[in-house]
Amino acid sequence: MSFPIDDLAVMVGVMDTKPQTSADDELQRARDKYNRAGETLVAISFGVVVGTGLLWSAMVGAL
């Protein structure tokens, strides 16, 4: 049984008609995992760059 609001949501594109499969769930988990890894890598890189800059500034006597 379909309700008119569901048909409208599908037509507009805000609701999907097919149920999400386990393969889609696994793909989403993998994407989340790689996104977290990327965020961690960016944070570490930022820390290394800023830390190196602070170290060099302290060695030169600018701080």
In a domain, 34, yes or no: yes
Write out pLDDT tens, residues 6-63.
778 888 877 777 766 777 788 888 999 999 999 999 999 999 999 999 999 989 987 6
Host domain of residue 38? 21-63
In a domain, 9, yes or no: no
In a domain, 7, yes or no: no
Write out pLDDT tens, residues 36-47.
999 999 999 999
> How would DSSP label each residue in 7-52?
HHHHHHTSS-SSPPPHHHHHHHHHHHHHHHHHHHHHHHHHHHHHHH
In a domain, 50, yes or no: yes
What's the structural domain count of the chain?
1
In a domain, 30, yes or no: yes
In a domain, 38, yes or no: yes
In a domain, 31, yes or no: yes
In a domain, 33, yes or no: yes
